[in-house]
Amino acid sequence: QLAGLAVIAFGLWLRFGGAMADFATDKRSPEYFFMGLYVLVGAGAIMSAVGFFGCCGAARESQCLLGAFFACLLVIFAAEVTAGVFAFIGKKVAIQEAQKIYDDAYEDYVKNPVGKVNSTIYRYHVALQCCGKGNVEQPPGLPCPENIQLPKASNCLVEIQNVIDTNLHLVGIVGIAIAGITIFGMIFSMVLCCAIRNTRDMI
């Protein structure tokens, strides 16, 4: 249950509290990346529910509940492996989506550098701690955050790739940790189930 709650909190933090959250405040968002986070939050919710039933099965010494707990953990484990492979394969697509969103905002700013467009591009720059695209001539008056290291942080497209890579690595670490917990949960549930069966046979 605690692991499930931790996964929910982690997924919500990446969705609403990290640098990538700013890409969802406009008309478009990197759907591929956020879809993975929604799956992560859903898996955390299922884990919490399954953990509750596992506790009930252990407390009541119910072989049926423990067997169902084992089956649910097996399904969750398979889903985690599938999601990990899906995230690894789709990383390039997620990066391209996020870079396209910034590209479009940048082009809108070049055409009309006033009003909401100005605030949108500035929000991206603050979230990513970068300014511009680096390999092109920057338009005059491009809103940049203070105290950033130029030209090192002048390419926001590179920073977007770095942010997504970092976040996906974090998701991978959490996924591996949860998979380990899931395996231990399956082992202990089977051991407890067998112990209950042996005790009843002796009686």
Per-residue pLDDT tens for 129-180?
Answer: 888 887 667 777 788 877 776 666 678 888 888 888 887 777 777 777 777 8
pLDDT for res 30: 64
Closest by CA position to 157, among listed 117, 107, 90, 85 = 107
Asked if the model's pLDDT at residue 25 lies above 60, the reply is no
How many angstroms separate the CA atoms of 154 and 130, rounded? Answer: 5
Inter-residue contact 41 to 7 (CB < 8 Å): yes
List all residues 6 or more positions away from 29 whose beta carbon is below 8 Å from its beta carbon.
23, 101
Asked if the model's pLDDT at residue 24 lies above 70, the reply is no
How many angstroms separate the CA atoms of 102 and 156, rounded? Answer: 8
CA distances from 158 to 15, 21, 124, 130 (A): 20, 17, 13, 9
pLDDT for res 31: 66
How many angstroms separate the CA atoms of 141 and 91, rounded? Answer: 33
Using a cut of 0.75, tell me whether the model's pTM lies above it. Answer: no
Average pLDDT of 82-88? 69
Asked if the model's pLDDT at residue 183 lies above 80, the reply is yes
Asked if the model's pLDDT at residue 79 lies above 70, the reply is yes
pLDDT for res 141: 75
pLDDT for res 38: 77
List all residues 6 or more positions away from 137 whose beta carbon is below 8 Å from its beta carbon.
none
Top pLDDT among 34 and 106 is at 106
pLDDT for res 44: 80
pLDDT for res 175: 74
pLDDT for res 150: 66
pLDDT for res 86: 67
Top pLDDT among 80 and 160 is at 160
